[in-house]
Amino acid sequence: MPLTTIDYPGELAAVVFCQGCPWRCRYCHNPELLDRSRPTSLDWEAVMALLRRRVGLLDAVVFSGGEPTLQRGLAKAMAEVRRLGFKIGLHSAGCYPARLAEVLPLVDWVGMDVKALPGDYPRLTGVPGSGERAWKSLQMLLTSKVSHEVRVTVHDQLMTAQKLKALIGKLAVAGARSIALQVCRARQMLDPSLGPAGADWVTPELLDSIVRSYGQQLVLRV
Ligand code: SF4
């Protein structure tokens, strides 16, 4: 449960990494967190004990993963943390729209990964229907008015410039108010056949044309 200033913009936060994710994204940089049956290093009581000692020192607690919305007890855990006075952040890929709906009233900020246009998800996640789930979750987040950042991570072997422009355009039309575009920098990835991501195709011309179209809501981390 490391301390961080980057996982919840503007807040000093602790991050709770939840074990398990139903998807297998080829560029996943946390493969050790994917197996839901793997024992965790801290149980929930130990996490709460740590957080009680941080009251007054931290602003927020971010539930990350793996995929936090996999956890049946997520809403209960968030409510307990809120009662300590912390803001609640959530990192999610939108795998479980129904659980996202359950926890949104408890959340102050969401960093949501949107990986591709809906039809392109299975090639990336290995899971049929994953794109529909992710985009349903996104729509739910955008209509909830909860503060958010939509995160698009690109790898040159998994995305083309044309697809990226179409994706950012669809996000803007959907109402995403803050979009962060970042090149995959992972040192370890689930699929070892993927080499390090090259950023060459993210050309100044491509960025210019994206920024000209959506500049007011786009953060670049390339
Ligand atoms: S959704 Fe996130 S945690 Fe799950 S496999 Fe994909 S990148 Fe990894």
d(CA 9, ligand 1 centre) in Å: 21
Average pLDDT over residues 9-13: 92
The atom of ligand 1 lying closest to the CA of 66 is 3
Question: What pLDDT was estimated at residue 128?
Answer: 98
Residue 47's domain spans which residues?
A: 3-221
Q: Which has more pLDDT, 112 or 6?
A: 112
Per-residue model confidence (pLDDT) at position 52: 97
Our answer on whether the CB atom of 116 is closer than 6 Å to any ligand 1 atom is: no
Looking at the structure of the chain, the number of domains it has is: 1
Q: What is the pLDDT of residues 59-94, one digit of tens each?
A: 999 999 999 999 999 999 999 999 999 999 999 999
154-202 pLDDT tens trace: 888 888 889 998 999 899 889 888 888 888 877 789 998 887 777 677 7
Supply 150's token pair: 């939509």
Q: Given this model, what pLDDT does residue 102 score?
A: 98
pLDDT confidence bin for 122, thresholds 50/70/90: very high
21 lines ligand 1 (CB under 6 A): yes
**Domain CATH number, residue 59:** 3.20.20.70
Q: Give pLDDT, residue 13.
A: 95
Which pTM does this prediction carry?
0.93
For residue 27, give the ligand 1 atom closest to its CA.
7
| Mean pLDDT computed over 126-151 | 96
CB of 23 sitting under 6 A from ligand 1: yes
CA of 95 to the centre of ligand 1 (A): 9
